[in-house]
Structure 1
Amino acid sequence: MKTDKIFYRIFLRQPELIAELVPGIPPDCEFEYSAPVLKERERRLDGLLTPIGDDLNLPLVFLEAQMQSDNGFYRRFFGEIFLYLEQYEVTRPWRGLLLFPRRTLDFGVETPYRSLLDSQVERFYLEDLIPLTDLSPNLELLRLLVVSPEEAAESARRLLSREASEAAFQRRLDLLESILVSKFPKLSWEQIREMLDITNVRLQDTQFYKDVFAEGRQEGRQEGLDQGELEILLRQLSRRCGELSPQQQQQVKSLSRTQREALADALLDFTGMADFQVWLQQQSV
């Protein structure tokens, strides 16, 4: 999975992280994630977080993770925001949250947008997390994305060992597996299991263990990373759309690698099973 998609999964699974990064957001505020299309030029916002509830004083949050230099980034980011505000006739406040890996990358001229960058947009540089200790579990997840491979295994094990409810533990584990797959694309699931030292954590009772590591996986599996990615994709589809029928599972398994990557991106926009069925039908056209 692409790194920027992992960021959006983290925010979807750990919504309280927004309050840690954007001042003024209550810790218990819930958001609905979307990626709306802007009609002009058929642009699509990477991430829009809309507060759930009736409090119109809570802001929309325009979220974007940019991991590489792009000297047109600020121009595009603010252009899309104001196009959205006009197109959807927004009346509530808004904030921006930008995630960058390093301060040395070039994202374009800041001068025309200086007042907005200083007042309404939070820029979060992941490199600032590397030397820090005693971080919250949410910030530890972000830190794991930028630490060295040598430190990643220890950091992941430390994060798994932190006290949490069973539900929070499973969410944390789900995100950790995605991060490690992205960080170590050549490792098999067995090697990732060894990296996490799963014999020392509460894994045997989790759905992750039952789905991925229990013996007797379904016939027709692929070995190594491809199988791991497929398992993650099927679980995410089930969580987003509801339980998949055996026929639907087989349809997903028969997709090419390119189609699976496209599905992994598309499912962030799914609101239910109907969206998934439409997507499948489009693949057969």
Structure 2
Amino acid sequence: MTKKTMLPDLLRLTAPVREALDVLPAAMAVIGIGTDGQPVTVDLDGAPHVLISTCSGGGSSTILRTLTAQLLHHGAHALVLDMKRISQPWARELPTVTYRADVADIHDALVGLATELRRRIDVADRHGSDAGLLRLVVVFESGDATLRRLARHWENVRRPGDPKVSPALTALTDVLFAGAIARIHVLFDGDPTLSVLGPEGREQFSTVILGQVTTGTWRKFALAAGPAPKHRGRPHRGCVHVVRHGDTIRQAQVLTLTDPEALGRATGAS
């Protein structure tokens, strides 16, 4: 585990940070700054899906906003699933964003995503690469609650002969397994239960961002990296541990973009 050193209390979009963002490849986004003073990043080409798990009010929406804005800046499109309707309002009117909040609309969007996944895989198979496929980011705000609502919605609308498992949940699992070749990536806020995605589905999150989580959550995602850190005194807001592939871990202070800053970054205005 990284030796503990002083982290900044807040990391904002200042000139040095903005310059660091500008030189990153399109597949990469800055999560924050590490204890060594260097950026902690995620590379979607090598780690296609990201899971964020924090305590209540721990900043998961901020992390989602910051990562999404950076990826939109580099030409990605996004499907934002915001069942609470208040977590990602900055993205609602962007032409490169499809924003869905109602559970029925989220269900339909995910079912449509399954069709798009198959189309993209066919393109990749025919051309031998993913060249020309636009990067698509699926942003799951309040992911656990959304998955539960999707399961209940399917119970209410399911007809005789329909599959028992919601096709929206099946689509999500398919994207987790095959999204890399299709350039579709999931940014998930929460801790998806095994009953919904299964252990294999949850294991597809090769980058996990943990902020002030319980010992049980740490054991699920970072057991190989060592015991859960002990928090003494007042928690340091924005301080997270970034776990890669289950065993490599870095402590970081997350980059915080406000709604206007995220909008400006996404549109190239800042």
Give TM class, smaller chain. Answer: 0.3 to 0.5
More helix by share: 1
TM superposition score normalised by structure 1: 0.31
RCO comparison, higher one (Cα < 8 Å, 6+): 2
